[in-house]
Structure 1
Amino acid sequence: MSEANGAAEKQFAIQKIYTKDLSFETPNAPKIFTQKWEPAVDFNLATQVEPLENGVFEVVLTITVTVKIEENIAYLVEVKQAGIFLVNGFNEQEIGPMLGSFCPNILFPYAREVVSDLVNKGGFPQLILAPVNFDALYVQHIQQSQSAPEAKTLN
Structure 2
Amino acid sequence: MQKNNDKISFCIQRIYVKDISFESPNTPEIFQIHWSPKIQVDLNTNSKNIYKDIYEVTLCVTATAKIGENTAFLCQIKQAGIFNISGLNDTQIARYLHVYCPEILFPYVNECFNNQISKGSFPQINLNPINFNTLFIQSLKKNNNNNKTTN
Give, in whole Å, the separation in 2 of the partners of 1:29 and 1:144: 41
Deviation for aligned residue 1:104? 0.4
1:32 aligned counterpart, secondary structure:
helix
Deviations along 1:64-97, one digit per CA (max 9) or x if unpaired, are 0000000110000000000000001101221110
CA distance in 1, matches of 2:5, 2:31: 59
Q: Distance in 2 between matches of 1:57 and 1:33?
A: 42
Secondary structure at 2:74 match in 1: strand
Aligned equivalents of 2:74, 2:32: Cα separation in 1:
18
Task: Provide the rounded CA distance (Å) in 1 between the counterparts of 2:148 and 2:25.
Answer: 43
Deviations along 1:96-130, whole A, 9 cap, x unmatched? 10111000000000000000110011100111111
> What letter corresponds to residue 96 of structure 2 in structure 1?
M
Give a deviation string over 1:35-88, Cα, whole Å, max 9, x none.
Answer: 111100000100000110001000000000000000110000000000000001
Find 2:27's aligned residue among 29, 33, 38.
29
Q: Match of 2:144? A: 146
TM-score, normalization by structure 2: 0.94
Give the TM-score, by structure 1 length. 0.92
Number of equivalenced pairs: 149
1:151, distance to aligned residue in structure 2 (A): 2.9
Structure-1 separation of matches of 2:140 and 2:30: 41
Unaligned runs of at least 5 residues, structure 2: none
Unaligned runs of 5+ in 1: none
Shift of 1:149: 2.1
1:6 deviates by: 3.5
Q: Please report the RMSD computed on the Cα atoms of aligned residues, expressed in angstroms.
A: 1.4
Q: How does 1:10-89 map to 2 (within 5 A)?
A: 10-89=8-87
